[in-house]
Amino acid sequence: MLTIGTKAPDFALPNQQGETVRLSDFLGRKVVLYFYPKDNTPGCTRQACAFAANHNAFAERGVVVIGISKDSAASHQKFAAKHELPFILLSDTEKEAIMAYDVWQEKKMYGKVSMGLVRTTYVIDEQGVIEKVMPKVKPDTNAADILAYLDAAE
């Protein structure tokens, strides 16, 4: 995991419309960057829908929400349309940002060890510096936990 106070690695990835988005595009705004394993899986859908349900609360605070997985832009487009997701989803099929943010790690499930994306959220400040690291977040409470953090930090 990257640590608090570290400059957030920049990246250039396609969004759900196939347009290139860079983290540096959002300098001057706080960014919630959340990494999730896969579109349309139960936990990832609950997490995305929780961010969608709280979209206005993030917008009122001037915070940009960005989700990243290794799914394709086409998969993200379907996922966003199906669940009416009003925020940016980025496709990282080459694991560029996933590796830079150190979220591709060993996972254990049912006694089997494999490599995979560990559900992690970073809060990045207006200068592009990591302000908060939330490893192994819970899909159902991630959005609310971040809002509570943002309110406490003010």
Quote the CA–CA distance of 71 and 123 in Å, as a whole number.
22
Helices and strands (DSSP H and E) totals, the chain: 5, 9
The answer to whether the beta carbons of residues 34 and 63 sit under 8 Å apart is no
Collapsing DSSP to helix, strand or coil, 87 comes out as: coil
Specify whether 44 is catalytic.
yes
Q: What share of the chain is helix, strand, coil (3-state, %, to 5)?
A: 30, 30, 35
Of the listed 44, 90, 98, 130, which one is catalytic? 44
- In DSSP terms, which residues pair with 89 in a beta bridge? 67
Catalytic residues: 44
